[in-house]
Chains A and B, each alone.
Chain A
Amino acid sequence: QKEVEQNSGPLSVPEGAIASLNCTYSDRGSQSFFWYRQYSGKSPELIMFIYSNGDKEDGRFTAQLNKASQYVSLLIRDSQPSDSATYLCAPHLAGSARQLTFGSGTQLTVLP
């Protein structure tokens, strides 16, 4: 079992819809979770992070964390074509020092 699993996609949604990106992780000791967006050929840019169970909202983005289910998700409301990118989930796994363990990413395409 991979430490971090994401659906690779591609996930296509129409403009204005809600895009839902999911991530599961294997290490129950994980405490912090990061979502990055990566455009093709570019470096990852931080979208948001979440530490506590529940929802955390930042503009059009909402991160949801359920530690009991070892599940973290990212919702993008009112999706725009500019949101088309690969979204990387990165839990900080307990005992992994301080590097992040990245999932393989979900490729999102927002159709105009």
Chain B
Amino acid sequence: EAGVTQSPTHLIKTRGQQATLRCSPISGHTSVYWYQQALGLGLQFLLWYDEGEERNRGNFPPRFSGRQFPNYSSELNVNALELEDSALYLCASSLAYERAGVADTQYFGPGTRLTVL
């Protein structure tokens, strides 16, 4: 069974540009999560999509946005790139349901390393 896939592996942009990162979840998973991991820092939650809708977002500015397509794949867009956006962007997926308040397991993709010059 294929895992979560992300593209591109690496992305180099300059300040002010826009970046688009893509994620395909594990087959059968309908929830997609995006996390940012800056160098030396922990994983910070960015966005959660489920059934095509944005369900929750972390403490990030509006220039971080995304969407989920009917096939459950997802795209993260970062506008007006800043130097501090340089980080590893991780996508995770899980099954749709949450059993009695217990979170379902999230499986991570290999990540996209974004470098802003």
Contact = CB atoms under 8 A, between A and B. Distances in A.
A and B bound? yes
Interface of A: 31-32, 34, 36, 42-46, 49, 51, 88, 92, 94, 96-105
B109 interface: yes
Contacts of A103: 42
B17 to A, nearest CB: 24
B45 A100 contact: yes
Main secondary structure of the interface of A (DSSP, over half): loop
Given A34-B105, A43-B88, A98-B31, 17 more contacts: A31-B101, A31-B102, A42-B110, A43-B110, A44-B90, A45-B108, A46-B107, A92-B102, A96-B56, A97-B55, A98-B48, A98-B55, A98-B56, A98-B94, A98-B98, A100-B45, A102-B42
Contact of B103 (A44, A88, A98, A102): A98
B104 interface: yes
B58 interface: yes
B102 A51 contact: yes
